[in-house]
Amino acid sequence: MPLKTRLKTLYNKLPEPGDSLEIAPGVNWICMPLPFLPAFINCWLLEAEDGFTLIDTGVNNSKTKKIWESILRKQCTEKPLKRLIISHFHPDHIGLAGWFVQKFQVHLLMPQPEWLYARALYLLPDTTLGEIMVDFYRRCGCESEFLDYANKGGNTYAHSISAIPHNFRRIEKHQKLHLTESNWFTECSSGHSPAQLTLYNQEHALLIAADQILPHISPNISVWPEEPFGNPLQHYLDSLKDFEYFNADVTMLPSHGYPTKNIPQRLRQLAHHHDERLEIIYNSCKKPQTASEVAAAMLGGEVGLQHVFFAVGEALAHLNYLVEKGEIIRSVNSKNVWNYQQK
């Protein structure tokens, strides 16, 4: 199969907002609209003997809350919603964790690095995060128009989610969780986020893949201001090895897009996507370039203000990978801006 062949989806229609679709015994697929691309997030409501477990929440807005209230009224009639599991700290996954804990008295479970990151970011004052971003994106070579935009936005993360609960239960990798009538095995992967949780059920050959492996878009792998010389692309590519043992018949349940099979093919496509980007980025660094200039070269043109965070973050993830490989040299120019050039 050619590397760019689009994987076949197992369904041709999403569950309507407010409905759920049982795709295996005790595994209910819920699709929550998002007010931004990729347009929706899949959440999974799992039924065990003692009650339900919800995986991820969608964003914090009144529309999402209303949909949840309606779903829980229909689904959780004879058994309670007992647990909320959050795969990672991004706002479309953790957005309503605080609301669920307070309103339904559920236990929150998630990987510790994800909770720590969410909590630390949530507590940063607007002005502090604004200053951190201005300093970081200035060193990436971003224009003053974008620096003002980033500064004025302040802590958009904290403003977009319900309060991160101040306690939780830790999930670690290689645990066995009894979330349906059978067991689910945990994995925690770095790259897209600090320790993103995925869950595998051997009996039904299902992988709740979160944003770790997406069927039709590439998970965002970015460098962020708190770790400017980090190498998340290396972490991500290393983490894909943990999924190589899944055969083509395992069904992947992603957070975005439709359930699909053929994980091995998708892993090859994702690795190929990053190889292509690495080549474009390496070739763009014949002369010293800023991360912002490399981001424009990577995307083939100017980047809109609201896309700069991800574009520069992705460009830096690939640049830092090439720096660690010894193929690109990072230097600092007279304006204290990072420059990147082929060795």
Interface positions with Zn ion (CB under 5 A): 90, 211
Contact 251, 228 (CB under 8 A): no
Shortest reach from residue 126's CB to Zn ion, in Å:
23
Shortest reach from residue 340's CB to Zn ion, in Å:
26
Q: How far apart are CA 170 and CA 86, in angstroms?
A: 11
Shortest reach from residue 311's CB to Zn ion, in Å:
16
CA-nearest of 199, 150, 178, 162 to 58 is 162
- CB nearer to Zn ion: pick between 114 and 211: 211
Residue 205 Cα distances to 145, 158, 175, angstroms? 49, 37, 17
Element (H, E) at 189: strand 183-189
- CB nearer to Zn ion: pick between 90 and 277: 90
Shortest reach from residue 172's CB to Zn ion, in Å:
20
- CB nearer to Zn ion: pick between 81 and 86: 86
Calculate Rg over the CA atoms of the chain. Answer: 21
- CB nearer to Zn ion: pick between 18 and 38: 38
Shortest reach from residue 337's CB to Zn ion, in Å:
29
β-strands 206-210, 196-201: how paired? antiparallel
- The DSSP secondary-structure symbol of 155 reads -
| Tokens read off for 224 | 């962020």
- CB nearer to Zn ion: pick between 86 and 142: 86
- CB nearer to Zn ion: pick between 316 and 328: 316
Shortest reach from residue 93's CB to Zn ion, in Å:
6
Contact partners, residue 215, CB within 8 Å, separation at least 6: 7, 9, 252, 254, 257, 258, 260, 266
Contact 340, 319 (CB under 8 A): yes
